[in-house]
Structure 1
C-alpha cells in the first residue's frame, strides 16, 4: 500500500530517529555539521494533484502550520492546474530548532553539561561520550557518583579489597553492584592494561577483572574415617585456598558429582569424599597433595559424566573411575533416563581407558538407545557398598 503524504508528525519522527541514534548529541560534541538539516517529504503525485486537489491544499497548509522548520518547495507545471508550488522538504536551520520540535532541548543542554564535566576530568573518554551520548543522559542523576568511582579506581588500581571495603564518598556497595557493566566499559578505557585482567569478562567477574577481592570459591567434603575428623567435624565446607593448604587428611579421595551421594557415602578407613559440582571439577587441578593420594571419580553414566572424568585427568592423570561401566549401566536398566538432546557432549575424549572409551562412544552414538543416561543417584545403595567392598 502506498504510504500517505508526509505530515508534521512524520517530520518530527525523522528528527526523533536521529535523536535516538545519538547522532544529534554526537554532532554537538564532535562539531559535525548536521545542521541545517533537510528532511525529504513524501509528496502527492501529479495524479494525486489532479484527483485530490483540495486534499493536497489541506496537506500543504498542515505542513506550513508545523513549527520549527522551514519548507523547501518545488514548482510543478500541472497540465490542468498550471504552476503549483509543492513542499518537498522540511528544513531545520539549527539544532535548537529541531530539538524544540521533539521536546529535547533541555536534555541536550543537560548532555552538554555532563559531557563538559566528564571530559574535564577524563579527556580520553571523548569517543565514548560521543558514541554513548544517550547512556550518559540516562545516567544523569547518577553520573557524579560514576565519575567519583572512576577517579578512585584510577588512583587505586587493583586495590585487593572487597567492594564492601571501598571508602568512596557518597557511594555504597549496592550502587557499584548495580552499575558494574557501565563501570567496566569506562574502566577499560581509563586504566592501563596492567591494571585489567583481560580474561575475566562480564559483571560476575568484575572483581577479578579490576583487582578486587571476590567471594572465595568454596569446596565441600566429608571425612569418611572417624580417626580423621577435625575437632569432631566430618562434613565441612571451606574456602578452596584453605583446602589446598590442608595437610593430606586421607590416602584415598573420592570425588562425586551428586551432593546426596556425598552425604550418604559409606564410611571407610583413611578416606574422604569431595562434592565435585560438575565442571567445577577444575577447582581441584591446583591441589598438589591430591596427586599423592589414590583419587577415585564417580560421575553419571552419560556423555557429560565421561567428559568431566576426562577433564579431571588433564590435571590428575592417576584418577580412576568407579560405577561408570557397562555392568553398572545394564544392571540398572529399568532406571535409565534420557540426556537432553541439545546438551549432550559429542566431541572426542582422549584420556579415557579402553572400557570407558567404548561405553562413552556407545552412549554418544545411541547404541543402547536414544540419549541413554544413568544418573549416579539412581544406582542401588547395595550396589554402591558392594563396589566399595563394604
Structure 2
C-alpha cells in the first residue's frame, strides 16, 4: 500500500508535467490527475486498517487539500464487505502545489510568466519548450531588467556601443552575468541581419553588434629581411585581428602555434611569421586577410584539444597544414606523453585522414603530448620536408 510520504514524492515528479500543461493552457485536461500507485492492502487485517486510515488522515478529505482517495465497495475473503482505496487523484493545481511543497516557486513562476506573456509574446514558444520554465524561474527576480535589454536590442539592432553604455536603467552587471540567456532570446526576436553568425553566444558583443575590447594576437617575425620588408622596427608585436590584417604579408609562410611559450622560443626561419598562444581563439583569425593568401602551418599539442583547435582553424582557413600532429611523432616521443583530459572522440569534419586516426587513438588511450616537450629541431625538420618551396629554408 502506498504511503502518504510516497505520494508526496510522486507529486514532486508530477509537478513539472503540470507546469507544462499550465503553460500550454491544458490544465482542464491534466486535472484531475490520477497518481499511479500500488493500493494492495497488507494481508494482516489490523495492518491493512492502519494503512487505509493513515492514507485517509493525510488526504484532502481530512486536511482540505492534497490528494483525494477514491474508494470502491467490494467484498473480500479477508476483509469482508468494505470500502477499499481504488485510486489516488490530485484534483487541482493548488492541491498539487501544496502537496509537493512548491508554493513559493509556483507563486514566483506565475508572476514571471505573467511578465513574460505581457512583454515577450515572441518568446512564448521558447518558454513552452522542454523545461525552459525552470530557466525562467532562475532569473525571475531580474526578469524585467532582462526584458528591458531585449527590448532595447529589438529597437536598436547592433547598437555599436559598449555594453556599459547601453541607455537602459538596469545594472551593467545584469547583461554580463546573463549573456547566454539573453543571447538565446535575441536569436528569436532579432532579424537575421542583426546577428553575426560567425560568433557564438560566448562572443556576445560581436554577435550582436556591441563594441568590445578586441583580443590581441601575439605575432613574431622570424626573418630580419621580412621584418624590414614589413616596415616594422621590432620583431614582436601584439595587435587585434583587423589591425594585423593591414600588414603587407605576401609570399610568407605563417606558423600558428598553440602555446605562447613555444611561440617565444621559435628560432629564426626564412620568410616566416608566427602567431601563438591563441587556444580556441584561432577562429577569430578569420579576419586576417593575408592568412587566406599565404601557406599556413598549425602546430598544436598532440592531444584531443589540439585536434579540435586544428579542426576549427581549418574551418576558417582551408589551406592550413599541420606539423608534428601525427601518430609517427607521438610514437617517436611517447616517453614524454602524459595522461589526457578524458575527452571522447567527436566528429571533426575538417581533419585529414592521418590526423583523424591519431586524434581517435589519443582519445581512446587518453594520452597527450604537449608541444613544449618536443625539441624545436623536430619542428624544423618536418617543416623543411613539407615546404613546397625549399628555397625559403
The TM-score, its normalising length taken from structure 1, stands at 0.70
Q: CA deviation at 1:78?
A: 1.5
CA deviations over 1:18-57 (Å, ceiling 9, x no partner): 21x2424642661421223333542234xx3xx4111111
Identify the range of structure 1 (64-73 vs 215-224) with the bigger mean alpha-carbon deviation.
215-224
Please list the CA deviations of residues 177-227 of structure 1 after superposition, one character each: whole Å capped at 9, or x if unmatched.
3222322332233223333345644x3133343333455353222234567
Please give the secondary structure, in 1, of the residue aligned with 2:218: strand
The question of whether the paired residues in 2 share the 8 Å contact of 1:163 and 1:213 is answered with yes
Structure 2 unaligned residues grouped into runs of 5+: 385-389
Q: Deviations over 1:76-105 (max 9, x none)?
A: 211253201112223333322332233334
Question: How many Å apart are 1:350 and its aligned residue?
Answer: 10
**2:242–2:287 contact (8 Å) kept in structure 1:** no
Residue of structure 2 equivalent to 1:144:
144
Pick from 114, 117, 138: which aligns with 2:115?
Answer: 117
Distance 1:74 1:234, change over 3 A: same
- Unaligned 5+ segments in structure 1 are none
Query: Residue in 2 aligned with 1:238?
Result: 239
**Pairing of 1:106-185 with structure 2 (within 5 A):** 106-131=104-129, 132-172=132-172, 174-185=173-184
1:321 deviation in Å?
Answer: 9.2
Q: Kindly indicate whether the alpha-carbon contact (under 8 Å) linking 2:345 and 2:360 is maintained by their aligned counterparts in 1.
A: no
Q: Does the residue aligned with 1:108 lie in a helix, a strand or coil?
A: helix
How far apart are 1:244 and its partner, in Å?
A: 0.6
1:231 Cα shift? 6.9
Q: Are residues 188 and 18 of structure 1, via their aligned partners in 2, closer, same or farther at CA, if it must alter by over 3 Å?
A: farther
Matches within 5 A, 1:1-390: 5-19=1-15, 21-24=16-19, 26-27=21-22, 30-33=25-28, 34-45=30-41, 48=42, 51-66=43-58, 67=63, 68=65, 69-131=67-129, 132-172=132-172, 174-198=173-197, 200-201=199-200, 203-224=201-222, 228=227, 232-248=233-249, 252-257=252-257, 259-267=260-268, 272-275=273-276, 277=278, 287-289=288-290, 295=295, 297=297, 299=299, 337=336, 375=371, 378-379=374-375
Residues 224 and 269, structure 1, Cα contact 8 Å, conserved in 2: yes
Whether contact under 8 Å (1:281, 1:312) holds in the other structure is: no
**Would you say the 8 A contact 1:39–1:90 is kept in 2?**
yes
Contact 2:336 / 2:373 at 8 angstroms: preserved in 1?
Answer: no
Aligned-CA RMSD value: 4.9
Instruction: Kindly tell me the number of residue pairs found equivalent between the two proteins.
Output: 363
1:348 and 1:148 mapped to 2: Cα distance?
40
TM, length-normalised to structure 2:
0.70
Bigger CA drift: 144-153 or 21-30?
21-30
Alpha-carbon distance between aligned partners in 1 of 2:50 and 2:241, rounded to the nearest angstrom: 77
Distance (Å, rounded) in 1 between the aligned partners of 2:143 and 2:195: 23
Asked whether the equivalents of residues 97 and 103 of structure 2 are also in contact (C-alpha less than 8 Å), the reply is yes
Give the distance between the partners of 2:260 and 2:185, measured in 1 at CA: 41
